[in-house]
Amino acid sequence: MTRDLTPEMMLQAYASGIFPMAERRDDPEVFWVDPHDRGIVPLDGLHLSRSLRRAIRRGAFQITVNTAFDAVVEGCADREETWINDTIRGLYQGLFRRGRAHSIEVWDGPDLVGGIYGVTLGAVFFGESMFSRRTDASKIAMAYLVDRLRQGGFRLFDAQFLTAHLASMGAIEVPRAAYHVLLQEALASTGEFEAPGAVPSPQELLQRITQTS
């Protein structure tokens, strides 16, 4: 079954409310997950701590969009335990080539120090994973991502599981049935990840988040 998976089948799964995982990096098999409680990031409720706002305002990092997708996925998989195996990595690469997967990258000079990636369908962003090699790098990526989703007309940011990291930024948990209602409503609309164009300046980003959070 795993060998027969295609990017198109992945999109069908996401539209049904399930997502893939592997037990470990070297396990070739993939299983499907439909959590009892689902983590989501309210697009109008992002919380940025004072220290994070200061970090964004300093502008010490450079932010890019879709310039190093494979490297972001690899950064997310570069940990002792990961659910990203070769099968899943190849499927995401296929989705990226089809314009259905996207990444936000955080750079410190020439070094990729953080990022986040996920899949888009309708007006839904299915967040998959993030990583950080500098303090606040993944949170900064999240802030730029949420702003891009809002500017692009997205209605739902699916975070899969609620973690302390995500909760600190305003993520919440909803029951499976409520998530599926939100999912179907958002799939009926269209979001455009590329529509916002250039990455905003730190000042513009903070101004927009302050106005809507």
Phi, psi for residue 27 in degrees, rounded to 5: -90, 120
- Residue 174's SS3 state is strand
Chain segment 111-145, per-residue pLDDT in tens: 999 999 999 999 999 999 999 999 999 999 999 99
> Residue 147 is encoded by which pair of tokens?
């702003």
Q: Judge whether 97 and 51 are in contact, CB under 8 Å.
A: no
Q: What is the pLDDT of residue 30?
A: 86
Q: What is the pLDDT of residue 212?
A: 65
Could you tell me which residues come within 8 angstroms of residue 181 by beta carbon, excluding any fewer than 6 positions away?
Answer: none
Residue 113: DSSP 8-state: E
Phi, psi for residue 173 in degrees, rounded to 5: -120, 135
Chain segment 79-94, per-residue pLDDT in tens: 877 888 888 899 999 9
Residue with tokens 């305003």: 170
Give CA–CA dist 86/92, Å, rounded: 10
CA distances from 89 to 1, 72, 121 (A): 16, 11, 18
Q: What is the pLDDT of residue 209?
A: 87
CA distances from 172 to 87, 137, 161 (A): 30, 21, 9
AA letter at 27: D
Q: What is the pLDDT of residue 1?
A: 46
Q: What is the pLDDT of residue 75?
A: 94
Domain boundaries, the chain: 36-79+100-212
Q: What is the pLDDT of residue 28?
A: 80
Phi, psi for residue 177 in degrees, rounded to 5: -60, -40
Nearest alpha carbon to residue 112 among 99, 130, 96: 130
Ranges of residues in the chain with a pLDDT under 70 are 1-3, 212-213
How many helices and strands in the chain, by DSSP H and E?
8, 9
What CATH class has 36-79+100-212?
alpha beta
